[in-house]
Structures are given as structure tokens and as C-alpha cells.
Amino acid sequence: MSGMSLETMQRRMLAAVMQPLTPEDTMRERNEAGERMADVAAEFVAPNDRLTAFERLEIYNRQYWFRLLGALGEDFPALRRVLGSRRFDALAVAYLKEHPSRSFTLRNLGRELVGWMRKHPEYLGRRKRLALDVARVEWACVEAFDNGELAPLTAEEIGDLHGGSRLGLQAHLQLLELDFPADDVVLELHQRERKGASEGGARPEMGEMKPEALDVERRRTWLAVHRADGSLYYRRITKEEYQTLTALGRGLGLGEALGAGFRRSRIGPAERPAALQEWFAHWAGLSWLTKPEIEERA
């Protein structure tokens, strides 16, 4: 232990703690560099009368992984049920090896998961697209629940709008284009999760779980996940609503966004004004439209 700088000791400790566990959830005998972990532990951990240096270090190694896997499982309970616990744990370990926690809060742990899943379909089982959609909905819930809330447009601001005006989207509003009605799946699986927890009297996440049998057919679905007074809501939207809102979110002017909204639309020109009036009334009622941030900063 002597002669090792504090920085070196911290780096050695961090590398040891972040090293993935064995399939039996114990610390590995050797690290990736081939060093014996018993020797590594002895560099900076003193044994006591009950535990060796290896065993003391192993406690931290295990707790690191248990905590991270628990946190990820907590944010993606439906994905865990779609994949089954064994496949989910393998996915989580592989993901966390590439994207370890780099934030001061575990809230951000799953931030890269959807992108990572797209690059690693080998971890997604048979229903790859469904798993991806479920993960997207669950992450959208995290964002919608935690993000801030911007002031909606006022009547005065609406009075000043014209075709070139740009609008912002509410910070907690999440817009998704899905291959499956994954909101239904997530709702159902979250209900089963809660039911399992209440029947068991405890959180069910640690037990082994087989992939859920799901009767869901592929169907293009457009979804908004948003928050109202501290509660989360799903709202199915039309393709045209999705296209208009995302166009506004990209910073297009109002007139251009309306045009983009009806790209490849089956809604005839005569029906469009009425549809727009209804949509904008709903969006404003839900406080989805705000001043664009760029104007707020100016």
C-alpha cells in the first residue's frame, strides 16, 4: 500500500469495483489485465480478523453492480418482463460496461440504453422491435416525469403569432413513433409488476422471471407522453399530429410546420383546417406549446 498515490489508489479501487461479477455474482479471480484480484485487493485493502482483503473488496464490487442493476431494472420494469430477467441482466451488464454511470445521479443511468440497444440487437431476444419500443416508452416516462415545465403560451403571445412564428414544445413532452402499440404493453406489464409486488408483499425484481407471453401485433403508433400536475399520461396522437409537433420542435415556422404535418397524409385538404383547430386546442389545453427557448434567451 505504501508508495501508492491517492489518485492511483482511487483508480485501482474504481477499476476493481466496476469490474463485472462472475455468473455467480462473486468477484472475479482475475481482472482484465490478468492480475490476481487477491493481489490487487492487498495493494490497498487491509484484511481484518473475519474477512480477507479480497472478500472486503468483493463487498464493494457486488454492491456496485447490485445497485446499478437494481436502478436500471427500476426504470425499465416492462423491458425486463419482455426479455425475461436472465436476458435483461445480460443486457444490463453489457450496457453498463460500455456506459457506466458518469453522472452525479443514477437517474441518468439509462439515458443511452435505447441507442445502445439499436446497436446490439443480439441482446434483445426474439421480439427485438417490441423490446426497443418498450424501452423507448419507459425512458420517455423517465424524461416526462423528471423534466422541467415551461410556461405555456399566453393569450397575448398567441395574438402576436403569424405564419413565420416559431413555437417551442413543453419540456416534459415526449413524442414517439413506434412500431408497436407499446404504451399498451407497458401499461399492462407495469400493472403486472405492481400486482406481483403487492401479492408478494415486496419488490419482485430480484427473482428469476421468464419472458412474458404477449399477444401484441405490430401496428405503427404515434404517442405523446406528458405530465400534468405531477402525474404521467399517454396520449395517442395521429401521424399528422406527430409530424406537426416534431416540425415545431425542430424550429420550423408555424406555416411550414403545418405543411410538414400533412406530408403523406390521408387527410384531405378540406378536412385539414378542422383537424388543426382541434389539435391545437388540445395541445394548448395541455400546455404543450410554449415560446421557443431561443427567443426566451434573447
Partner 1 sequence: MKKQLNALMLSAALAGLAVGTHVAQAQPVTQDSAKVTTAKGAGVRYAGYSMDKEKHACKGQNSCKGNGGCKSGDNGCAGKNSCKGKGGCATDGSKPPKAA
**According to the binding rule CB under 8 A, does residue 34 interact with partner 1?**
no
**27 contacts 61 by C-beta, under 8 angstroms:** yes
Q: Exposed, middle or buried, 270 (CB in 10 Å: 0-12/13-18/19+)?
A: exposed
- Name the residue type at position 28: R
Nearest to 287 by CA among 191, 117, 172, 203: 172
* Residue 223: count of CB within 10 angstroms of its CB: 22
Report if residue 286 touches partner 1, rule: CB under 8 A: yes
Cα torsion 270, 271, 274, 277: sign: negative
Report DSSP state, residue 46: -
Nearest C-alpha neighbor of 236 from the set 290, 180, 168 = 180
Query: Judged by CB, which is closer to partner 1: 31, or 147?
Result: 147
Q: Of 115, 63, 81, give the one whose Cα is nearest residue 195.
A: 81
Task: Decide: is 31 part of the binding site for partner 1 (CB under 8 A).
Answer: no
**163 part of the interface to partner 1, by CB under 8 A:** yes
| Residue 15 found at the interface with partner 1 (CB under 8 A) | no
CA distance 132 to 138: 10
Report 35-74 residues binding partner 1 (CB under 8 A): 67, 70-71, 74
Which residues, numbered 180-219, are part of the site for partner 1 (CB under 8 A)? 183, 186-187, 190-191, 194
Total of chain residues touching partner 1, rule CB under 8 A: 66
Which x/- pattern, by CB under 8 A, does the window 241-260 give for partner 1? -------------xx--xx-
Q: Which is nearer to partner 1, 14 or 29 (CB)?
A: 14
The minimum distance between CB 29 and partner 1, in angstroms, equals: 27
CA dist 298 and 291 (Å) reads 12
Measured CA to CA, the distance from residue 240 to residue 272 in angstroms comes to 10
Asked whether the beta carbons of 21 and 58 are under 8 A apart, the reply is no
Instruction: Give yes or no for residue 172 binding partner 1 (CB under 8 A).
Output: yes
Q: Please identify, using beta-carbon distances, which residue of 124 and 169 lies nearer to partner 1.
A: 169
Q: Which stretch binds partner 1 (CB under 8 A): 30-38, 81-89, 118-126, 143-151?
A: 143-151
**Of 87 and 170, which has the nearer Cβ to partner 1?**
170
Determine which residue in the list 3, 104, 201, 298 makes contact with partner 1, applying CB under 8 A.
Answer: 104
CB-CB neighbours of 3 under 10 Å: 5
In the region spanning residues 218 to 237, those forming contacts with partner 1, defined by CB under 8 A, are 225-236
- Minimum CB separation of residue 99 from partner 1 in Å reads 14
Residue 281 interacting with partner 1 (CB under 8 A): yes
3-state percent breakdown (helix, strand, coil) of the chain, nearest 5: 55, 10, 35
Given the rule CB under 8 A, which residues bind partner 1?
A: 67, 70-71, 74, 102-109, 141, 145-149, 152-155, 158, 161, 163, 171-172, 183, 186-187, 190-191, 194, 225-236, 254-255, 258-259, 269, 272-274, 276-287, 289
